Chain A
Amino acid sequence: MDQEKRIGVFVCHCGTNIAGVVNIPEIVEYTKTLPNVAFADAYTYVCSTPGQEMIINAIKEQNLNGVVVAACSPRLHEPTFRRATERGGVNQFLFSMANIREQNTWVHMEMPEEATRKAKDLIRMEVARASKLEPLEAKVVPVEKAALVIGAGIAGIQASLDLAASGIKTYLVEKEPSIGGNMSRLDKTFPTLDCSQCILTPKMVDVERSENIELMTYSEVEDVSGYIGNFDVTIRQKSRYIYEDKCNGCGKCQEVCPVSRPNEFDLGLQPRKAAYVPFPQAVPLKFTIDMDSCIKCDLCKADDACGELEAIDFDKPDEIVNVKVGTIIVATGFDMYDVERKEEWGYKVYDNVVTGLEFERLIGASGPTGGKVIRPSDGKQPKSVGFVLCAGSRDQDEEDGAKPYCSRVCCMYSLKHAHQLIEKIPGCVPYLFYMDIRSFGKAYEEFYYRIQDEGGKFIRGRVAKITEDPITKNLIVTAEDTLLGEIMEMEMDMVVLASAVVPTESTQKIKKLLTLSNSPDGWLLEAHPKLNPMSTTTDGVFLAGMCQGPRDIPDVVAHAGAAAAAASIPIHRGSVTLEPIYAIVDEERCGGCATCIGMCPYGATELTHVDSKLIAHVNEAKCKGCGTCGSACPSGAIKMQHFTNEQIMSEIEAFAQGW
């Protein structure tokens, strides 16, 4: 370490992104005057191949032993420049990066002088840090040859099938008794009008048949610890009060069960028993007893019901299963916005106001009416149906919990509903109240034209109020037709609210377990919105489907495939390289006070006896490198590698040289 420090500084123009604001020659000349700087130069794009060659050549020609690049954010290009440093023959951890783009030229665009001064300061601070950096060796650890997928809607199903097909053991965990998610509730899918069940159920069956998929329905992930390649997962398999290996799905328990309660799968539109499967095509076709409503009459256990199978056991406990996986895919999907909060539309007040998903069950062949569209108040066929688009989407009303984003599916599913009404009920007119029709996908715009041709009526304006005629139960819809500039009132037989999609409640729980982030709208945050929409900031954890943001089925399937591919890479490679950013203890200085023990959320610090002296020890595998222990250590015995006190202090000293 006593070797003379020779640092090379490379200032990036980033085209005009940086050079268009700050004075690059002035910065380079200033940089040359800094202590330990042996070389400084600028280049148009340092991240390009010639730019990286420039670093590598300078290391060799100038005999450099440290590198600083002043360019974009280290969150973007630190790995690029670390590799270049390593290729030049210098340990990659002797590299440091000054962020003079995202946190300088892009935020002080009209202040060239101040930005130039700030760039100099930031470079001086990074040079000071680079002067104190120490070479570290990245650690290579093996990867468990298994993956976990959380949530078994179409996203989780697709991701699991892809992982399994590439030979990876996949644990697919679903909290409901059956897989299938929201897609299994849909009747037809836009714009092709494929029957949703027909295209989904083969995939569901594939999941059940796949040798590489271990399906855990009616189960929830309770705990996750570890890191990429080596996650320890605790899963609670809730008791169905029926042994899955004994149940043959005959349904006799359901037949004799005297209890009746609303079926969640049908959004309460028809009843189910306490012994039930959510829908006939459920996978697995294993019955579940809902203990909250079971009256323990024992009829299901009788000889004419389950009888000899002896599959039912009211005392069957939950089971806790521990699995080890290398990577994790989150596919927790979406719920519907609680449109009851929009009081002006009278949902749950007027019988004939339903949500889009409820309408989907009403029009669906597998739904409570067998696909016959009737209005809830009197069972009559509606002849005029109003569709309120953007019901809770594209709405800034925070008090109602409405969402500012576009839910991306409502325009299209409402168009599809309009088509189905015209097809099923001769003379029925659908009226779509819209702000903009967003038919952005392949063959979507054509579908929109088709519905116009078929007789769908489009009124550009938001519905302000819905009231009910108490006798006929017809609805009076008040809206502004913004194209005519007139307030209009229309009487409708029925109204469908195309409610927004929102993240599921369990998304928050999974987010905490996996230390993910979410955007302000609640959807899980991706590693990069453009170039890495299926990864997260937690290494080894990926996102599939709606949990990351609203999208339609084709996009969900593509996203899930991308997540599966990304999640399979470390597993197929067999090992991952971990950053050697963990804490180490100087045994000479440690007094064994145990302050650090309480600091660590991972239990990575522990007290051990060394030569009869009690000292702290950091378990490298458990340490994630936050450095909280180091800043609490009263004797300065804990060194947080790559973020040492010495390194940070030198940055602060360099900062203070700015005035």
Chain B
Amino acid sequence: MSMANEFEPNILGILCNWCTYAGADLAGTARMQYPPNVRVIRVMCTGRLDPAFVLKALSLGADGVLVSGCHIGDCHYLAGNFKSRRRVALMRKLIEEYGYDRERLRMTFVSASEGALWAEVVQDMVNTIKKLGPNPLKQAGAAGQEGAIADEF
């Protein structure tokens, strides 16, 4: 890492195949540089987002979860992003109940032609999580252990 003591967040990305994953590829083709803190899981549609994925990631110590799909109205499957947007809105409230700041979960909309936007989204998410600090479970040294929500998922 760049500085020995600086906190570098581990962020899970869940991206749809048709828009944001393609947009992230475009950022690569255009050699747009952004922070290396996101690990991406590719799904066909953000509608595939099971709330359990978010809870699982947080319970195992992820510092943030970034869900990103097509712009509203542009979903390759017509309306999957509407459903995930609703789910994410609810999940942001739910994770607060578990003691996580809602900003640790974010949904963005990046199309296949918006490579620059993807680089911005990652930069912004990394900045936000850096401000929030590491996952509270990690701070307590409990990540991945018999945590309150780890059992359920």
Contacts and interface: CB of A to CB of B under 8 A. Distances in A.
Nearest to B17: A75
- Chain B CB within 10 A, most for which of A518, A630, A659: A659
A263 B62 CA distance: 64
A49 interface: no
A125 interface: yes
Contacts, number: 163
A90 B54 CA distance: 33
B57 A652 contact: yes
B28 A114 contact: no
A637 to B, nearest CB: 13
A655 B39 contact: yes
A628 interface: yes
Nearest to A517: B112
Contact of B36 (A111, A648, A659): A111
Nearest to A115: B36
Nearest to B65: A652
A517 B47 CA distance: 18
A651 to B, nearest CB: 5
Interface in A97-146: 99, 101-104, 106-111, 113-115, 117-118, 121-122, 125
Interface string B29-57: 10111101001111111011111110011
A380 to B, nearest CB: 48
Contacts of A632: 83
Contacts of A74: 42
Nearest to A111: B36
B24 interface: yes
A540 B101 CA distance: 44
Nearest to B34: A107
A107 B119 contact: yes
Contact of B50 (A113, A117, A537, A645): A645
Given A628-B80, A656-B61, A125 B111 contact: no
Q: How large is the interface on B (under 10, 10 to 19, 20 to 34, 35 or more residues)?
A: 35 or more
Given A520-B114, A640-B48, 17 more contacts: A99-B40, A102-B27, A103-B27, A103-B40, A106-B28, A107-B36, A125-B41, A517-B74, A520-B111, A538-B76, A626-B47, A627-B43, A628-B80, A632-B83, A649-B153, A653-B60, A655-B57
Interface of A: 73-76, 99, 101-104, 106-111, 113-115, 117-118, 121-122, 125, 512, 515, 517-520, 525, 537-538, 581, 599, 601-602, 624-628, 630-632, 640, 643, 645, 648-649, 651-653, 655-656, 658-659
Interface of B: 1, 10, 12, 17-19, 21-22, 24-25, 27-29, 31-34, 36, 39-45, 47-53, 56-57, 60-62, 70, 73-80, 83-84, 87, 111-114, 119, 138, 143-144, 153
27 contacts: A73-B21, A73-B25, A74-B42, A76-B25, A99-B42, A102-B24, A107-B28, A107-B119, A109-B33, A515-B77, A517-B70, A517-B111, A520-B113, A525-B113, A537-B18, A537-B76, A538-B76, A601-B80, A626-B44, A628-B84, A631-B50, A643-B44, A652-B53, A652-B60, A653-B60, A656-B60, A658-B39
